[in-house]
Amino acid sequence: MVRVKICGITNARDARACVDAGADYIGFVLFGGSPRFVSPDRIRRIIQEVGIADCEAATVGVFVDEPPGAVAAALKSSGLQAAQLHGREPASALGLDDNESPLRGRAYKGLRPASMEEAERLAGEYALAYRDGRDRLPSFLLDANHPVLPGGTGHRADWRIAAHLAGAYRLMLAGGLKPDNVRRAVDEVRPWAVDVASGVESSPGRKDLRAVREFIEAAKGGRSR
């Protein structure tokens, strides 16, 4: 069954509702340029209040162009389990071949390819290998290409590219997903996981709880590898 990540959580109410609805991943944005930004201290309070650490849902922090050491420090101070690197970070930031890297086994990359050729190149460069406890992480996340913004645009990713890559990688699909199109995305792309933020919001950083439930139900009712 496809896994679901609800991203852009900013408060305990929404986090609790997402966990109760069956989300597999709860995402927090630690990028100051986002309207969904939350600080590490605030994230720690939310995690503690909701008790996310004691449930099945994994917690992920979204970072943009932060040094690996700073990301690792934020993970520690917030209590987050993994990092999604969503900027222009080099593959070396993931620590794929560095046993001393602070993010080894704890981070995956968000990719925003503009073409099939670029997608294949980036996937080969950034895809995680499954060792060192990475079994709960995707190979990478595929988002919509945007010339300026790193994510959260509401634009739809290229499902043709996504379906091609999903045949070879544990792909988390993001970009323009909503309750009314996520099942079709799962059926056409057959991703390992799906990710949504703005598609289930009443306003930036505030979730529409009915939309959250509908999204998760629709996603998990579709097919997946």
138: nearest Cα among 60, 223, 29: 60
What one-letter code names the amino acid at 161? I
The answer for residues whose C-beta is within 8 angstroms of residue 21's C-beta and 6 or more apart is: 209, 212, 213, 216
The answer for residues whose C-beta is within 8 angstroms of residue 191's C-beta and 6 or more apart is: 2, 162, 166, 171, 172, 173, 185, 224
CA distance 174 to 141: 7
Q: Is 55 a catalytic residue?
A: no
DSSP class of 200: G
Strands 206-207 and 201-203: antiparallel
Task: For CA atoms 30, 1, 21, 53, give the dihedral sign.
Answer: negative
Q: Is 7 a catalytic residue?
A: yes
Catalytic position from the list 14, 143, 158, 195: 143
3-state secondary structure of 110: strand
Give the Cα-Cα-Cα angle 82, 92, 135 (nearest 5 degrees): 35
Catalytic position from the list 7, 14, 24, 195: 7
Which residues belong to the active site? 7, 143
